Amino acid sequence: MKHLQYTDLNYSELFDEFRNPNSGAVVLFSGEVRDNNKGREVTHLEYEAYEPMANKMIDEILLEAVSRFNLNQAVCVHRLGRVEISGCAVVVITGAGHRKEAYDANQFIIDKVKNEVPIWKHEFFTDGTSEWGQNCDCVIGTGEHEHDHHHEKAE
């Protein structure tokens, strides 16, 4: 699917394809896998999605961002399956005439993708346990939670 892939994300290639004579600013965000979370050592992550819906929602988010921030281009690709430490889990690239629009749009896209799109992270720890959905970055701007949700622990 256009916005989801099970293979390594090569953001350099995506970035190189992003040249546009109308763009004075191109911003690239790469969400990468940390080796720790809340004091626990992480071995790797696995991502799962309700794929057709996630792909469709990312498409809609990009269209909204292009229109709202007057972008020349926007791309977002999210990994599925196993991602190793320092691997790229999600990439967002935005191109606009000026940097403010490119930065703001990039943040708008990643926040929406993290908070709204049906994609789930499964974290695996060095002690052999694992947990679902503990990134808890469900905040936009003010630091307030956008929604009150529960994070589920796996065995």
Q: What is the binding site for another protein (CB under 8 A)? A: 31, 47-50, 52-54, 56, 78, 89-90, 110, 113-122, 132-138, 147-155
Smallest gap from Cβ 153 to another protein, in A, equals 7
Instruction: Give the residue from 9, 4, 2 showing the smallest Cα distance to 84.
Output: 9
Task: Rank residues 11 and 47 by Cβ distance to another protein and give the closer one.
Answer: 47
Task: Rank residues 66 and 110 by Cβ distance to another protein and give the closer one.
Answer: 110
Smallest gap from Cβ 21 to another protein, in A, equals 31
Task: Rank residues 100 and 149 by Cβ distance to another protein and give the closer one.
Answer: 149
Smallest gap from Cβ 20 to another protein, in A, equals 26
Q: Which residue do the tokens 């794929």 mark?
A: 51
DSSP string of 21-84? TT-SEEEEEEEE--SEETTEEEEEEEEEE-HHHHHHHHHHHHHHHHHHHT-SEEEEEEE-EEEE
